Amino acid sequence: MDQLKRGFVLVLTAPSGGGKGVLTRHLMERVADIRFSVSTTTRPIRPGEVDGLHYYYVEKEQFEKMIHEEAFVEWAEVFGNYYGTSRHALLADLEVGWDVILDIDWQGARQIRAQMPGDVVHVAIVPPGREELHRRLTLRGQDSQEVIEKRMALAAQELSHWNEADYVVVNDRLEQACQEIEAIVRAERLKKERMARRIESLVARFG
């Protein structure tokens, strides 16, 4: 990890079934010094999940106390459960050079950009069509038809905010989408604002 480079927050927004999970795994397998932000949630833990690995699981009362204490850079209520991103953990990761992936919705993206405008890179992941998205949600086998229909309704709302992103990746062909999002990360790492500490260290040697 390059501690002379400040990290950035890579916000991935997409409707459920849009492919955020696959693209996240690709980045973590192929790109060094990048990690996934572990969110705090009030939803029940699912079989196979591990506290502290998939989420930090807390009671609703504790989460609301943390909201009051401004412990989150962003939070939201989804299907009756709270989800939030720890301010302290995120800032600590960026300072030592980690790039951190956040899987949040457009509202969360707005919240975090308002608080950390220079540290956020927002990528909207867009599925190739309504029928394909419905097919993916059905094939996952995780939700009832009623929940799938709710997710489809939310998808239209999520996608209507695509123009708030810095980049847009259409997840039609997975291999191409993986290449595009990897290219975004590599390009963003070279921005002068993030390279400042390293370059200043190099320039100082010429003095």
Predicted confidence at residue 201, as pLDDT, reads: 83
Q: How far apart are CA 105 and CA 127, in angstroms?
A: 15
The Cα–Cα gap between 165 and 122 comes to 5
Q: Residues 42-94: pLDDT tens digits?
A: 999 989 999 998 899 999 999 999 999 999 999 999 889 999 999 999 999 99
Tally of CA atoms within 13 A in the half-sphere of 197 that contains its CB: 11
pLDDT of the residue at 120 = 97
Give the 3-state secondary structure of residue 191. coil
Residue 61 lies in a domain: no
**Is residue 175 assigned to a domain?**
yes
pTM: predicted TM-score of the whole model, two decimal places? 0.84
The total of structural domains in the chain comes to 1
Contacting residues for 61 by C-beta, under 8 A, at least 6 apart: none
Predicted confidence at residue 29, as pLDDT, reads 96
- For residue 90, being part of any structural domain is answered with no
**% of the chain exceeding 90 in pLDDT:** 62
Nearest to 6 by CA among 206, 193, 202, 200: 193
CATH code of the domain containing 22: 3.40.50.300
Span 100-151, pLDDT tens digits = 999 888 999 999 999 998 999 999 998 887 888 788 878 787 778 888 888 8
pLDDT score of 5: 83
What pLDDT sits at residue 142?
76
11 to 86, 96, 116, 191: CA distances (angstroms): 14, 19, 12, 17
**In a domain? residue 1:** no
Quick one: pLDDT at residue 123?
97
Whether the per-residue pLDDT at 4 is higher than 80: the answer is no
pLDDT in tens, 22-46: 999 999 999 999 999 999 999 999 8
Task: Identify whether 135 is part of a domain.
Answer: yes
Mean pLDDT of 144-165: 86
Domain carrying residue 132: 9-37+98-204
Q: Give the pLDDT band (50/70/90) at residue 1.
A: low
Q: Provide φ and ψ at 56, rounded to 5°.
A: -100, 120
Q: What is the pLDDT of residue 207?
A: 67
Residue with tokens 């708030």: 164
80 falls within a domain: no
CA dist 91 → 2, 87, 94, 185 (Å) = 16, 6, 5, 18
C-alpha to C-alpha distance for 34 and 43, rounded to whole angstroms = 26
Asked whether residue 3 carries a pLDDT value surpassing 80, the answer given is no
| Residue 140 confidence (pLDDT) | 80
Q: Per the domain annotation, does 3 fall within a domain?
A: no
pLDDT of residue 149: 81
Tell me the two tokens of residue 24: 């996240």
Cα–Cα distance, 77 to 58 (Å, whole number): 14
